[in-house]
Amino acid sequence: MIFTNAPSDLDIVSDAIDEVNKLKGSDCRWDDLPTFDVDKDKTNFRQYEEACDRVKHFYKEQHEHLLQTAEAIRRDAKPEWMQVAGLVHDLGKLLHVFGSEGQWDVVGDTFVVGCKFSEKIIYHETFEGNPDSHDPVYSTEYGVYEPHCGLDNVMLSWGHDEYLYHVLKNQSSLPEDALYMIRYHSFYPWHRENAYQHLTNANDQRALEAVRAFNPYDLYSKSDEPADPEKLKPYYKNLIAKFFPEVIEW
Ligand SMILES: [Fe+2]
Ligand SMILES: [Fe+2]
């Protein structure tokens, strides 16, 4: 839909990241480094390479990812606000069109900055070259934060999730759980790996279930039948009108 003019490399990287997260969620834990050599993991690596080919091949269909996510949520009779969250959750990728510095600041798993890089972050070892890893404050467990200060008070790595959250937080009537789904859907170290428990507060803990409930629709709806935008237009136009003002500032 709206991404038809976006550069294809972004879509490919973004989809490959999703594919890796699917593989991570299946039969191999990413932090099981000592067992990286076993056949199972080699299989996963081959699957990853094949996945990259697949996402290239299905590039056109991937553009319907947002509709597919929303439709999967709708099929499960989840509330309208969650369908809408599915419909818009990746619109922050428009950042790439607006002048991002590269793929790194648009897509990819997000993580907390200002404190020790969690070992649950994908390719954690690559932070070795990041000066923050050796900073006397930023390399500590709490860094610049207070215990259980709440995710709203911590700074995450920049990406399409965080951007869209800031666009929508005051420009929609979406409930808090929908905003959590949008803001933290790439925050795998938290919602899948249970990292950063020492920074979250009770409200984050509550909303974690919402973020987790959203994740399968994001990851697994891409293999569904391609959605028909024309047929679905009236339904989603109506939903959009319910939750958003006529004009949204980006
Ligand atoms: Fe996303
Ligand atoms: Fe997505």
Annotated binding site: 65, 89-90, 160, 185, 218
Q: What is the pLDDT of residue 183?
A: 98
Whole-number Å distance, alpha carbon 66 to ligand 2 midpoint, is: 7
**HEC profile for 57-109?**
HCHHHHCCHHHHHHHHHHHCCCCHHHHHHHHHCCHHHHHHHHCCCCHHHCCCC
Q: State yes or no: pLDDT of 194 exceeds 50.
A: yes
Q: What is the domain partition of the chain in residue ranges?
A: 64-243
pLDDT tens digits, residue range 80-108? 999 999 999 999 888 777 666 666 667 78
113 three-state secondary structure: strand
Q: Which of 248, 109, 84, 79 is nearest to 188 (CA)?
A: 109
Q: Which of 11-25, 77-91, 141-155 is predicted least confidently?
A: 11-25
Q: What is the pLDDT of residue 80?
A: 98
Q: What is the pLDDT of residue 38?
A: 52
- Helix or strand (DSSP H, E) at 156: strand 155-156
Q: What is the pLDDT of residue 168?
A: 97
pLDDT bracket for residue 59 (50, 70, 90): very low
Whole-number Å distance, alpha carbon 93 to ligand 2 midpoint, is: 10
Q: State yes or no: pLDDT of 122 exceeds 70.
A: yes
Whole-number Å distance, alpha carbon 89 to ligand 2 midpoint, is: 6
Task: Determine the average pLDDT of the residues in 9-20.
Answer: 73
Looking at the DSSP bridge assignments, the partners of residue 112 are 156
Annotated binding site for Fe cation: 65, 89-90, 160, 185, 218
Whole-number Å distance, alpha carbon 5 to ligand 2 midpoint, is: 17
- CA of 41: how far to CAs of 25, 44, 45, 172, in Å? 13, 5, 6, 43
Whole-number Å distance, alpha carbon 90 to ligand 2 midpoint, is: 5
Distance CA 241, CA 6 (A): 25
Distance CA 13, CA 205 (A): 30
Residue whose token pair is 């974690």: 208
pLDDT tens digits, residue range 24-57? 776 544 444 545 445 555 566 566 666 656 545 5
Q: What is the pLDDT of residue 37?
A: 47
Near ion ligand 1, which residues have CB within 5 Å? 90
pLDDT tens digits, residue range 206-222? 999 999 999 999 999 98
Query: Which ligand is in closest contact with the Cα of 161?
Result: 1
Q: State yes or no: pLDDT of 185 exceeds 70.
A: yes
pLDDT bracket for residue 62 (50, 70, 90): very low
Whole-number Å distance, alpha carbon 162 to ligand 2 midpoint, is: 13
Q: Which residue has the higher pLDDT, 224 or 67?
A: 67
Q: What percent of the chain has pLDDT over 70?
A: 76
Q: State yes or no: pLDDT of 21 exceeds 90.
A: no
Q: What is the pLDDT of residue 100?
A: 65
Q: What is the pLDDT of residue 27?
A: 54
Q: Which residue has the higher pLDDT, 27 or 175?
A: 175
